[in-house]
């Protein structure tokens, strides 16, 4: 069973929500974020990514950056840009993009459930990123970035979602990226109790995005527990902000690859080398893979379809049978000589939302030698990897649309 809780959310005043709600802190670099907030003093990035308030040339230590985030949060509250709800609530959050919607529950989930792997993960985390978010939480005394999770379809829960969403939303707007965002406040005690009860019948949920935010919540809980001689397990630091969506509503786009050079090989020798594990066919049109184990490749104005040979991977392994892992094990590492795709500057990644046009543009520029278009990972593959206590191949999932930060945040108890 899972333990979830309603909470007194701090959320934007309806008149300011479109200005306040921002892209997540981790999809923009600092320069991109500074440009985005330049003419918007109300952007939530000033809280969630507060380095935007310093020039790129300033040498500011992290503590000063976190303190700026707290200063901005206090300003948003004082100016009534954001208002605290009067009682603990759940919230329903719907994103609609390209005529498809996903509707999730904003709630608090249990750190203990996360530590016991009832909230399942599929990625490793980096200690520096965990420390950054943990310090951010502790300085602001607030959880400002939700984790994005999924649950297997549950008819009882979907009935509550439908009942709530049949009413007028408390907030409704379309962002600059054409994603429509709707928010309902669930403050009816019967609905709250029913939702809480339904989750006691659910064995597990799965993190889709937000592994560092989950791990940082666990780290904050550990630190605060050590400092609290009267720890009960019910303090607010024992829970973290989560948005949980039905698995069948999730949309995963491909995460494509580009590589700087052919590792000293001529084009002919490169193609000959990859024939060992791939069947290769020339194509007159760009390849957008239509199924698993099919990969597009663009090199010197020519597209190729790569079909992965069945004997080149373990089809029963949840992680190693994913196309991104197969491509790495059978081409990127042995042929192109890239040992670590997380750190090697010869490889980069292009979110599928940017399409094959971006791959063509990058290779035709001469700055990149070869591009690979991938078939998107399925939700079931993600679940299978998490259930097996394994990790997904790096840079294999691109979730779209992105949740807006600042829709609802959780202030911790003092």
The predicted pLDDT at position 218 comes to 97
Q: Are 91 and 184 in contact (CB under 8 A)?
A: yes
**Two tokens, residue 137:** 């939480």
Q: Looking at residue 351, what is its pLDDT?
A: 85
Neighbouring-strand partners of residue 82: 12
- Residue 159: CB partners within 8 Å, gap ≥ 6? none
- Please tell me the distance from the alpha carbon of residue 117 to that of residue 97, in angstroms, as a whole number: 31
DSSP code of residue 210: -
Q: Spell out the domains of the chain, with CATH numbers in brackets.
A: 4-251+400-411 (no CATH), 255-375 (3.30.1760)
**Which pLDDT score, from 0 to 100, does residue 413 have?**
84
pLDDT computed for residue 28 by the predictor: 83
Cis before 401 (ω within 30):
yes
Beta bridge partners, 205, equal 119
How far apart are the C-alpha atoms of 248 and 151, rounded to whole Å? 9
| pLDDT per residue rounded down to tens, the chain (414 residues) | 899 999 999 999 999 999 999 998 888 888 899 999 999 999 999 999 999 999 888 888 889 999 999 999 999 999 999 999 999 999 999 999 999 999 999 999 999 999 999 999 999 998 999 999 999 999 999 999 999 999 998 999 999 999 999 999 999 999 999 999 999 999 999 999 999 999 999 999 999 999 999 999 999 999 999 999 999 999 999 999 999 999 999 999 999 999 999 999 999 999 999 999 999 999 999 999 999 999 999 999 999 999 999 999 999 999 999 999 999 999 999 999 999 998 899 999 998 788 899 999 999 999 999 999 999 999 999 999 999 999 999 889 989 999 999 999 999 985
* pLDDT for res 414: 55
At residue 368, the pLDDT reads 98
pLDDT score, position 354: 86
Query: Could you give the CA distance from residue 348 to residue 368 in angstroms, rounded to a whole number?
Result: 10
Token representation of residue 317: 């392994």
Give SS3 for 283. Answer: strand
Residue 74, number of CB atoms within 10 A of its CB: 12
Give the per-residue pLDDT at 22.
94
Determine contact, residues 246/153, Cβ cutoff 8 Å.
Answer: yes
């Amino acid at each position: 069973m899972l333990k979830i809780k309603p909470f007194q959310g701090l959320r934007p005043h309806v008149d300011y929500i479109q200005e306040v709600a921002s892209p997540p802190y981790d999809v923009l670099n600092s320069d991109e974020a500074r440009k985005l907030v330049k003419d918007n003093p109300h952007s939530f990035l000033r809280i969630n990514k507060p380095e935007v308030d310093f020039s790129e040339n300033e040498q500011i230590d992290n503590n000063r950056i976190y303190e700026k985030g707290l200063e901005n949060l206090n300003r948003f509250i004082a100016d009534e840009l954001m208002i605290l709800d009067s009682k603990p609530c759940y919230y329903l959050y719907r994103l609609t993009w390209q005529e498809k919607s996903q509707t999730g529950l904003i709630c608090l989930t249990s750190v203990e459930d996360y530590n016991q792997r009832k909230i399942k993960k599929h990625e490793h985390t980096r200690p520096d990123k965990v420390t950054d978010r943990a310090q951010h939480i502790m300085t602001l005394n607030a959880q400002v970035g939700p984790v994005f999770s999924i649950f297997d379809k549950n008819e009882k829960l979907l009935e509550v979602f439908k009942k709530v969403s049949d009413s007028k939303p408390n907030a409704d707007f379309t962002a600059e990226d054409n994603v429509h965002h709707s928010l309902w406040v669930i403050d009816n005690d019967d609905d709250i109790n029913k939702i809480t009860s339904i989750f006691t019948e659910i064995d597990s949920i799965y993190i889709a995005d937000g592994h560092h935010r989950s791990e940082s919540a666990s780290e904050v809980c550990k630190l605060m527990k050590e400092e609290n001689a009267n720890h009960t397990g019910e303090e607010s630091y024992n829970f973290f902000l989560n948005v949980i969506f039905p698995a069948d509503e999730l949309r995963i786009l491909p995460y494509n690859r580009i590589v700087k050079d052919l590792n000293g090989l001529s084009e002919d020798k490169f193609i000959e080398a990859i024939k060992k594990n791939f069947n290769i066919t020339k194509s007159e049109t760009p390849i957008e893979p239509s199924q698993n184990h099919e990969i597009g490749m663009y090199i010197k104005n020519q597209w190729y379809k790569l079909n992965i040979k069945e004997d080149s991977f373990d089809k029963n392994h949840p992680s190693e049978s994913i196309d991104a892992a197969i491509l790495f094990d059978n081409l990127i590492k042995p042929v192109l000589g890239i040992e670590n795709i997380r750190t090697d500057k010869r490889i980069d990644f292009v979110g599928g939302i940017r399409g094959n046009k971006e791959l063509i543009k990058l290779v035709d520029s001469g700055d990149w030698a070869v591009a690979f278009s991938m078939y998107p990972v399925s939700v079931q593959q993600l679940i299978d990897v998490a259930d097996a206590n394994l990790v997904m191949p790096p840079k294999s999932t691109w979730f779209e649309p992105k949740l807006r930060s600042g829709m609802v945040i959780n202030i911790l108890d003092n």
